Amino acid sequence: MGENICSPCAMCCSGNLFSRVPIEAKEQAVLDDRANVFMHKGNMRMSLPCQLLKSNGDCSVYENRPGGCQSYRCDLLRKLDSDAVSGEVALDIIEEAKTCVARLKSDISKALPESMALDFEQPIYRVVHGMRDARKMYPDLLNSFWADQAELHFSILIDIVRANFEENYLK
């Protein structure tokens, strides 16, 4: 992760952009067992949100992080590198994206009854899919106002991510 904006962001580690990152066996060997590694179509992957991410947004295995983590640079970071965007503007965009994620999670919590609470320790798009499935199956049990709010904030998040982080987000 880059030094200036990545710690306050951590969008690519926290399951808000991706659900997994490529990893090789030799890279897994130097990580501790908090890393959730699995096989996908014959390739090794580490699931996100990453269990190696510290609460302050730093990577707890920074020196030994997988090559996929080392090489990844989102659009925003590349724009910062080329001075196409200032650090201040980049941090504002990150704040906007994270606020949108927080609102989305809050909406979903309010939309669902306690008995149907979803696990937020999974990629954000899966949480949204979980809410949509619940809405289809048990429409009378959901609070439709908050479910609609969640859909609104998810569409805003998609726009923010596509405009600033990942053009192909969710494609």
Q: Which of 15, 45, 77, 101 binds ligand SF4 (CB under 6 A)?
A: 77
Q: How many chain residues touch ligand SF4 (CB under 6 A)?
A: 24
Q: Which of 15, 47, 61, 130 binds ligand SF4 (CB under 6 A)?
A: 61
Instruction: State in angstroms the smallest separation of the CB of 138 from ligand SF4.
Output: 34
> Please, which residue, 32 or 133, has the CB nearer to ligand SF4?
32
Report residue 21: phi and psi, to 5°: -135, 140
User: Per CB under 6 A, which of residues 87..126 are in contact with ligand SF4?
Assistant: none
Collapsed DSSP state (helix, strand, coil) of residue 38: strand
Nearest CA-CA partner of 12 in 41, 53, 43: 53
DSSP lists the bridge partners of residue 43 as 40
> Please, which residue, 120 or 146, has the CB nearer to ligand SF4?
120
Q: Which of 1, 111, 124, 127 binds ligand SF4 (CB under 6 A)?
A: 1
Residue type (1 letter), 102: A
Instruction: State in angstroms the smallest separation of the CB of 130 from ligand SF4.
Output: 22
Whether residue 1 contacts residue 59, with contact meaning beta carbons closer than 8 Å, is answered with yes
Instruction: Name the burial class of residue 80, with classes exposed (0-12), middle (13-18) and buried (19+) by CB atoms within 10 angstroms of its CB.
Output: buried
Bond from prior residue into 139 cis (ω within 30 degrees of 0): no
Angstrom distance (rounded) from CA 12 to CA 59: 11
Q: Which of 93, 101, 135, 165 binds ligand SF4 (CB under 6 A)?
A: 165
Which region among 6-14, 102-110, 123-131, 140-148 touches ligand SF4 (by CB under 6 A)? 6-14
Tokens (6 digits) for 140: 């009378």
| Residues within the interface to ligand SF4 (CB under 6 A) | 1-2, 5-6, 9-13, 21, 50, 52-53, 59, 61, 65-66, 69, 72-74, 76-77, 165
